[in-house]
Amino acid sequence: MGLIGASHADCQTRLPRRRGLFSFRPQFAGSRGLLSQHDEGGTLVEMAVCLPIVMLIMTGVFSYSLALYQKLQLAEAVSAGGRLLSVDRGDTDPCKTITAAIAAGGPGLSASSMTLTYKLNGTSQGTGTTSCPGPGSPATANTYLVAGSTAEIDASYPCTITVYGSKISSCTLQTNIVEVVQ
């Protein structure tokens, strides 16, 4: 009779049970086994090789994320400064007011390292400007802030990406905003 109509019990009795290649390991007195491997400490060696590489990559990602965080802080501070500049028509020195607002809006940034450029109604007030007073001697409103005109702020901030004290890259974070004066 063939195996086609055989039951499970018939197959168990007719076919010998096969063992794996290393299923039989003879044991000798005082030894671990003839075919066993000695791999104590292998995991420790793997960790010792891989851990410095993983830590270097993680530190690089962390340093890059700090630069990205500074970029986001700069963009948010300049955006808040632009919104304030668009409604600050009567101010005698709007650039000074906005520079202080931008410095306050980016608490993780050094105000002395920021380079700000103001362009009011198409007229540049200069690079690195922190003041743009009105033309009159007894402090009058800045005449460049005209309703319906544009006010633009360009900002740049230096950054350095370092990993374990080694300078990897230098960069300059830049952002700008253009608002319509109200």
User: How remote is the C-alpha of 21 from its chain's centroid?
Assistant: 52
pLDDT digits (tens, 9 = 90+) for 134-162: 776 667 888 888 899 999 999 999 999 98
Q: How confident is the model at residue 33 (pLDDT cuts 50, 70, 90)?
A: low
When pLDDT is averaged across residues 6-27 and rounded to a whole number, the result is: 55
Instruction: Check residue 40 and give its pLDDT.
Output: 76
Q: How confident is the model at residue 49 (pLDDT cuts 50, 70, 90)?
A: very high
Q: How confident is the model at residue 14 (pLDDT cuts 50, 70, 90)?
A: low
| Dist. CA 25–CA 178, nearest whole Å | 79
Instruction: Check residue 136 and give its pLDDT.
Output: 67
When pLDDT is averaged across residues 21-38 and rounded to a whole number, the result is: 54
Q: How confident is the model at residue 118 (pLDDT cuts 50, 70, 90)?
A: very high
**Who has greater pLDDT, 129 or 170?**
170
Distances, alpha carbon 178 to alpha carbons 60, 93, 143, 150, in Å:
34, 19, 18, 7
- Look at residue 107 and tell me whether its pLDDT is greater than 70: yes
pTM of the model: 0.72
| Dist. CA 148–CA 173, nearest whole Å | 29
| Dist. CA 123–CA 144, nearest whole Å | 8
* Among 144, 124, 122, CA closest to 133: 144
Cα Rg of the chain (Å, integer): 36
* Among 26, 55, 75, CA closest to 164: 55
For residue 142, the tally of other CB atoms under 10 A from its CB is 22
